[in-house]
A and B are shown apart, each in its own frame.
Chain A
């Protein structure tokens, strides 16, 4: 069975500092990994994905994520956080023949 863990319910970071939102996963085959962001009263918005190839994936709004197969992780990063990045972030995993599985979400607060 597939699973996704986001070990932190809440991440606080000062504006201008780098941010990391953690994600680890478990699948039986090759993983396809995704990050989504949800702003208040909105649907989830796709940020980036890893399918194959370069382990460092760049996405929207300056976000990037690094796929680490040995650690089964796919952490979301941004070099310099903005107050407007404050939102709920979801990691998701899929593998062949399986449905999407979303993590529980991590609330990011960027403090001015």
Chain B
């Protein structure tokens, strides 16, 4: 398996522009997570999906952020409009349900977003 795939790897955009980050989870995994990593705040869970349905979006910073998962192999995280404080590394992760709570997550390589 190729692992979790994220695109683009780097994104530089101007304030006010729309940004779309993409993620392809590991085949067969039915949980998908979006995280944001910054020096100041560390690793933050933004939202996660189970079987394509958003379960917990309490970590989404504000209405400028939205996430979708139209099918089991694709998810997007959109920021509209983007602001300089959104600059961070955004990770997608996926996991499978083994009937316990102990399934580890597998992370993609991340998208480094810079908003100028």
Contact = CB atoms under 8 A, between A and B. Distances in A.
Interface stretch (A14-22, A65-73, A75-83, A89-97): A89-97
Contacts of B42: 102-105
A99 B56 contact: yes
Contacts of A51: 100-102
Nearest to A90: B43
A44 B107 contact: yes
Given A99-B56, A102-B42, A104-B42, A44 B91 contact: yes
Interface of B: 4, 33, 42-43, 45, 48, 56, 91, 93, 100-102, 104-110
B101 A96 contact: yes
A51 B45 CA distance: 21
B77 to A, nearest CB: 15
B106 A46 contact: yes
A79 B102 CA distance: 26
Given A99-B45, A100-B45, A102-B43, A49 B101 contact: no
Nearest to A34: B104
A51 B98 CA distance: 12
B107 A45 contact: yes
9 contacts: A43-B108, A44-B105, A45-B107, A46-B105, A49-B104, A51-B101, A94-B101, A94-B102, A104-B42
Contacts of B104: 34, 46, 49
Contact of B4 (A43, A90, A94, A102): A43
Interface string A27-56: 000001010100001111110010100000
Contacts of A45: 107
B56 A43 contact: no
B91 A43 contact: yes
B96 to A, nearest CB: 12
